[in-house]
């Protein structure tokens, strides 16, 4: 039973036209011209449209199978084809070629609260939304109490939805969706909305569904944490094709490599925008993990090393007074903190003709995102080399606090260790 195949996708492709809504070949006059020989002309037309850049493949030859009970994650950068794939699997649009077979009742949640009507009350919208998602009215009546309780907005059930806040809509919408019992569930990013507590509730519900090995789930998200905690297997899409399919951890790694672009090594020797005497010049910045292996990105809370390699003029070689400093800024240029070596009373360096200076951080205190590094080296109280924006590092979600939670970036991008005591009285 558990080896049974629930979803088969074979060579699925989808062509989209960029210019206007209507492909040229479908206009009335073209239709008249070629209504005699359709097939070959259509193919030629596609090739022509692709050539001049009016058309592109949103999906190209995507194939995979999903066993019953499996939770499959789909990740990819923006425009990778995730939404198109979901739309085809949800039968919202048809593929240009290829085929997909789904066995069982399919519910797709591409949005919560789809079809809510502003003028109708919450209760009426529960029925409307439920029937849109394929529930019968008896089924909804039976589940109404559970739905309302899950949403936590029972007080406003008879208020028209137009007076709801966006958060209330999401709550009600997801509550309806959470009480459907499909065999195949397709979810697109819907969990990214609502407050943290409600999100947790939603994830819990999805976990519950997937726990019994009867429900097959396809889950698309930009949140690697959610993918990591829910999915056993993940597919990585890029440019409309599957470029990785396998164990979630490995695929997420591939995804990060993809979005980080280059490996985390930046050449500095040819960089021109720099200041300083030039007696010592930085040649390279390398991001490494605690074991000294080069990495392309790091997780919040990871132990990392920033290695600065340099070439020095012969007269500088030997033991020298030095101040090395790295300043970390957000992607929009706000300085967050510096890592000057002299503050640690490390002021003596052994300068070699080619050497390296290594800065270690036990616990990377940064939220996920991209950060810029400004690096400067002062030798014998004289600025030897300074490169602003020397490198950019990519930080991805990690478990800084050991709680699998990270604060939102609204509070700032820097993480510090802290604790709370919430049990004391004042007397």
Partner 1 sequence: MTDGLADASADKVIVIKSGTHSRWLGLADLGTYGSLLRYLVGRDIKGRYRPTSFGHYWMILRPVLEMLIYVIVFGYVFGITSQPIPYPLHVYSGIVLFVFFATSLSTAANTLTGNRHLLNKIYFPRLVIPLVNITVNLVDLGAASTVVLGLMLFYAVPPALNILALPLVLALLLSLTFGLGLCVAALSVRHSDTSIWLPLATRAMLYASPVTYPVSIVPEAARFFYMFNPVAVIVEMFRWSLFGTPLPHALHLAAAVVLSLAALLLGLIWFTRVEREMIDFL
* Chain centre to alpha carbon of residue 404: 16
Tallying the residues shown for the chain, one arrives at 427
* Interacting positions 166-205 with partner 1 (CB under 8 A): 181
State the minimum distance, in angstroms, from the CB of residue 178 to partner 1: 16
For residues 177 and 133, give the distance between their C-alpha atoms in angstroms, rounded to a whole number: 8
Q: Which of 34, 41, 63, 127 binds partner 1 (CB under 8 A)?
A: 127
State the minimum distance, in angstroms, from the CB of residue 98 to partner 1: 7
Q: Which of 38, 43, 48, 91 binds partner 1 (CB under 8 A)?
A: 91
Q: Which of 33, 43, 117, 263 binds partner 1 (CB under 8 A)?
A: 117
State the minimum distance, in angstroms, from the CB of residue 214 to partner 1: 12
State the minimum distance, in angstroms, from the CB of residue 81 to partner 1: 15
For residues 280 and 412, give the distance between their C-alpha atoms in angstroms, rounded to a whole number: 35
Give me the DSSP letters along 260-299. Answer: H-S-SEEE-TT--S-BS--SEEEEEEEEEETTS-B-S-EE
* Chain centre to alpha carbon of residue 323: 38
Binding mask 8-27 for partner 1 (x = CB under 8 A): --------x----xx---x-
Q: What is the enclosing helix (H) or strand (E) of 329?
A: strand 318-330
Task: Report the 10 Å Cβ neighbour count for 178.
Answer: 21
State the minimum distance, in angstroms, from the CB of residue 136 to partner 1: 5
Indicate the burial class of 423 (C-beta count within 10 angstroms; 0-12, 13-18, 19 or more). exposed
Buried b (16+ CB within 10 A) or exposed e, 207-233: eebbeeeebbbbbbbebbbbbbebbeb
Q: Which stretch binds partner 1 (CB under 8 A): 107-115, 207-215, 260-268, 340-348?
A: 107-115
44 binds partner 1 (CB under 8 A): no
What are residue 285's phi and psi, to 5 degrees? -120, 130
Between 126 and 224, CB nearer to partner 1: 126
72 binds partner 1 (CB under 8 A): no
120 binds partner 1 (CB under 8 A): yes
Binding mask 205-244 for partner 1 (x = CB under 8 A): ----------------------------------------
Q: Distances in Å between the alpha carbon of 355 and those of 239, 270, 305, 385?
A: 41, 17, 15, 14
132 binds partner 1 (CB under 8 A): yes
97 binds partner 1 (CB under 8 A): yes
Q: Which of 24, 34, 54, 103 binds partner 1 (CB under 8 A)?
A: 103
Identify whether the C-beta of residue 301 lies closer than 8 Å to the C-beta of residue 398.
Answer: yes
Which residues of the shown chain bind partner 1 in the complex (CB under 8 A)? Answer: 16, 21-22, 26, 87-106, 108, 110-111, 114-115, 117-120, 124, 127-128, 131-139, 142, 181
């Amino acid at each position: 039973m558990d080896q049974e195949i629930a979803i088969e996708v074979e060579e699925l492709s989808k062509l989209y036209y960029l210019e206007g809504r209507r492909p040229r070949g479908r206009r009335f006059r073209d239709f008249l011209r070629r209504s005699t020989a359709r097939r070959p002309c259509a193919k030629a037309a596609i090739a022509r449209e692709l050539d001049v850049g009016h058309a592109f493949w949103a999906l190209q030859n995507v194939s995979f199978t999903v066993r019953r009970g499996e939770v499959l994650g789909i990740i990819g950068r923006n425009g990778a084809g995730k939404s198109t794939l979901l739309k085809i699997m949800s039968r919202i649009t048809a593929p240009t070629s290829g085929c997909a077979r789904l066995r069982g009742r399919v519910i797709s949640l591409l949005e919560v609260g789809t079809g809510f009507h502003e003028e109708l009350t919450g209760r009426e919208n529960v029925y409307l939304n439920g029937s849109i998602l394929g529930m019968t009215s008896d089924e909804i009546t039976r589940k109404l109490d559970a739905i309302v309780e899950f949403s936590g907005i029972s007080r406003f059930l008879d208020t028209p939805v137009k007076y709801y806040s966006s958060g209330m809509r999401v709550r009600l919408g997801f509550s309806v969706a959470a009480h459907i019992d499909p065999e195949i569930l397709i979810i697109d990013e819907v969990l990214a909305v609502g407050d943290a507590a409600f999100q947790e509730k939603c994830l819990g519900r999805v976990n519950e569904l997937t726990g019994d090995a009867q429900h097959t789930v396809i889950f698309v998200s930009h949140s690697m944490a959610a993918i990591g905690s829910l999915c056993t297997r993940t597919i990585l899409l890029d440019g409309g094709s599957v470029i990785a399919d396998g164990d979630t951890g490995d695929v997420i790694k591939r995804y990060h490599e993809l979005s980080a672009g280059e490996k985390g090594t930046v050449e500095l020797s040819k960089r021109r925008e720099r200041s300083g005497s030039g007696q010592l010049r930085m040649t390279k910045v390398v991001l490494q993990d605690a074991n000294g292996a080069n990495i392309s990105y790091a997780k919040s809370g990871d132990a990392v090393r920033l290695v600065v390699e340099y070439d020095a003029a012969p007269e500088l070689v030997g033991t020298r007074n030095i101040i090395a400093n790295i300043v970390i800024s957000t992607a929009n240029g706000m300085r967050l903190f510096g890592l000057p070596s002299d503050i640690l009373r490390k002021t003596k360096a052994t300068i070699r003709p080619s050497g390296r200076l290594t800065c270690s951080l036990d616990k990377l205190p940064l939220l996920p995102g991209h950060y810029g590094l400004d690096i400067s080296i002062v030798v014998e109280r004289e600025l030897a080399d300074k490169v602003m924006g020397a490198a950019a590092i990519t930080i991805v979600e990690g478990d800084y606090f050991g709680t699998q939670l990270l604060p939102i970036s609204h509070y700032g991008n820097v993480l510090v260790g802290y604790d709370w005591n919430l049990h004391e009285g004042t007397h």
